[in-house]
């Protein structure tokens, strides 16, 4: 069986990028996952820590020189998946050119220049190396064109695939429970949990639950003081149990790359209410009056109305949520990725 190396962003962490590595390992037993800096570990996942120093700017920028104490996996005789452009700094241009490398774009092209881990640092070197990839994978059709324009490469080198979840899907629809949930990283600039809290403040007949951790945990806790129907939890270790006790997933994000929590909710028969249409997959994953609603603009009154509407016809919404998850199953994910690996 061919060796596949996955250079990951904390495969034990919270978020779609991190979940991707765990799903990939579950689908393909020949995948070995590596990570430069795992940070906090929330979930169990096998991986190898790469001990490397980023202190050699000559190597990082030009590709010349010697890698400093780097045990990063060799690119020869293996398929290598990169999940973040900063990890390309540890490889020479010739290594990437001669290897069978895939880059997975977990964030939209508009995000690339905002982060030092993407193109806000070593921009020219990283773009050149991204152009050497055999394939670039993204999670929405529009991103094929966005990445093509950003990187100056043909759309033929970019593949639109989809995500899936670790959870086994629920078999039957469920009854409504007055618990509104959000499962995410606590990064308010992207997830806008301040708006989630404001919805809770205005809808006292429901309980609102936040599961996660992140840089804005203290800010979120402070903002939620005095909101009696708001409950803030650590990262969930049993998402099936979380969604079994939840009525609706409320997404308040300003941006999402794919929206892994949406798929997780749908797989468990939990309808989704997207508070504002700010990312491409919103209307692809959630269909109005079918498995939830997508609000075009953030409006408290409309959100409150949608919550009540879903509650009033809940079994239909729950059943449709399960049906809408089927194209994103683990087996479909494995089939598409196996085709990609075979084509390299």
- What mean pLDDT is predicted for residues 108-133? 94
State yes or no: pLDDT of 53 exceeds 70. Answer: no
**Of 44-48, 67-71, 122-126, 289-293, which gets the smallest average pLDDT?**
67-71
Q: Kindly report the pTM of this predicted structure.
A: 0.87
For the domain covering 4-163+330-343, report its CATH number: 3.40.50.2000
* Count of beta carbons in the 10 Å neighbourhood of residue 312: 10
Decide: 272 and 291 in contact? Cβ < 8 Å.
yes
- pLDDT classification of 36: cutoffs 50, 70, 90: confident
Q: What is the mean pLDDT of the chain?
A: 90
**pLDDT at res. 45:** 82
Residue pLDDT, tens place only, 204-227: 999 999 999 999 999 999 999 999
State the sign of the Cα–Cα–Cα–Cα dihedral 80, 86, 90, 94: positive
179-328 shares the fold of 4-163+330-343: yes
- Domains of the chain, by residue range, sit at 4-163+330-343, 179-328
Separation of CA 91 from chain center: 25
Tokens for 290? 């079918």
State yes or no: pLDDT of 17 exceeds 70. Answer: yes
Residue pLDDT, tens place only, 168-189: 999 999 999 999 999 999 999 9
Rounded CA-CA distance 266/194 in Å is 24
Contacts 24+ apart (CB under 8 A), 296-302: 298/195, 298/252, 300/198, 300/199, 300/202
Query: Which class would CATH give 179-328?
Result: alpha beta
User: Which of 1-5, 102-106, 236-240 tops mean pLDDT?
Assistant: 102-106
Strands (E), the chain: 4-8, 31-35, 48-49, 79-82, 100-104, 135-138, 158-160, 179-185, 207-213, 230-233, 248-251, 272-274, 292-294
Give the percent of the chain with pLDDT over 90: 77
**pLDDT at res. 44:** 79
Q: What angle in degrees, to the nearest 10, is found between the helix axes of 300-312 and 314-325?
A: 90
- What mean pLDDT is predicted for residues 94-105? 96
- What mean pLDDT is predicted for residues 59-84? 66
- pLDDT classification of 38: cutoffs 50, 70, 90: low
């Amino acid at each position: 069986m061919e060796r596949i190396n996955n250079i990951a962003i904390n495969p034990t962490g919270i978020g779609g990028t991190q979940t991707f590595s765990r799903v990939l390992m579950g689908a393909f037993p020949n995948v070995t996952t590596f990570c430069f800096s795992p940070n906090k570990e929330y979930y169990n996942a096998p991986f190898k820590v790469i001990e490397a120093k980023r202190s050699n700017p000559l190597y990082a920028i030009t590709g010349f020189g010697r890698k400093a104490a780097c045990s990063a996996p060799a690119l020869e005789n293996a398929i290598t998946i990169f999940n973040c452009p900063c990890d390309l700094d540890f490889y020479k241009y010739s290594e990437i050119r001669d290897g069978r490398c895939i880059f997975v774009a977990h964030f939209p092209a508009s995000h690339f220049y905002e982060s030092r881990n993407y193109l806000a640092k070593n921009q020219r070197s990283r773009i050149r190396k991204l152009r050497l990839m055999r394939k670039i994978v993204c999670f929405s059709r529009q991103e094929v064109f966005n990445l093509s324009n950003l990187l100056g490469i043909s759309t033929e080198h970019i593949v639109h695939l989809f995500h899936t979840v670790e959870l086994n899907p629920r078999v039957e629809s469920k009854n409504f429970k007055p618990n509104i949930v959000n499962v995410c990283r606590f990064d308010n600039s992207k997830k806008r949990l301040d708006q989630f809290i404001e919805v809770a403040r205005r809808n006292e007949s429901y309980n609102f639950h936040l599961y996660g951790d992140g840089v804005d945990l203290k800010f979120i806790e402070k903002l939620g003081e005095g909101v009696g129907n708001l409950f803030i939890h650590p990262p969930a270790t049993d998402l099936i149990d979380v969604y079994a006790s939840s009525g609706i997933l409320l997404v308040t994000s300003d941006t999402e790359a794919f929206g892994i929590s949406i798929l997780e909710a749908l797989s468990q028969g939990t309808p989704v209410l997207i508070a504002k249409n700010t990312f491409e997959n919103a209307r692809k994953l959630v269909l109005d009056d079918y498995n939830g609603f997508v609000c075009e603009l953030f409006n408290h009154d409309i959100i409150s109305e949608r919550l009540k509407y879903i509650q009033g016809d809940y079994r239909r919404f729950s059943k449709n949520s399960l049906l809408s998850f089927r194209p994103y199953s683990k087996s479909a994910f494995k089939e598409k990725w196996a085709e990609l690996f075979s084509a390299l």
